[in-house]
Amino acid sequence: MARAEASGLILIGWREWLALPDLGIAAIKTKIDTGARSSALHVEELSEFSFRGERWARFRVAPGSRRSRRHQVVETPITDERLVTDSGGNRALRPFIRTRVALGPWSWPIEINLTDRRAMLFPMLLGRSAITGRAMVHPGISFSLGRPSLRAEAMLAASAVSNAAVVAQTLKTKRGD
């Protein structure tokens, strides 16, 4: 069942495959956490730079399984920076980005904070602010919407390479390389 009949909300499990198409991520294993306010994405080699007067983030992400060695570099604007309290009670200032999330056939914009989640089982956590009014979590099911198709992965990867090339060329032009 893809929708919760009585409420009109998407019915999802406590863990799901989702996509972040604007970042070129076609499939990432995600824990759905209604106890967490914000969503978080595991990133490596996070750095900040300025582009056209805006703050941008550059980072590496490995969207596949924990054993995957396939990484991609992502560049995207930073929309905010906020104090976030993790599950251990530790507070840290984290950068936030805004991007689209795709769950099955549904897609909408969300905010994600960028952090090191290497000690966690899932590279991404989808918090309640991303699903409020859109989805209902059933704690007894997993991966109810299936894994995004390999064809969609290939199309997103090609799009991400193309977008990265445009950004790289724009940066070179701006620097005068």
**Per-residue pLDDT reduced to its tens digit, 128-168:** 999 999 999 999 999 988 887 654 554 555 555 555 555 55
Q: Using DSSP bridges, classify how beta strands 44-51 and 54-61 pair: parallel, antiparallel or unpaired.
A: antiparallel
Residue 39: band (very low, low, confident or very high) from pLDDT cuts 50, 70, 90: very high
In a 13 Å sphere around the CA of 43, the CA atoms on its Cβ side amount to: 25
Q: List the domains of the chain with CATH numbers.
A: 12-175 (2.40.70.10)
Query: How does pLDDT run across 63-118, given as a tens digit for each residue?
Result: 765 555 678 899 999 999 999 988 888 899 999 999 999 998 999 999 999 999 88
Asked if 106 and 134 touch (Cβ cutoff 8 Å), the reply is yes
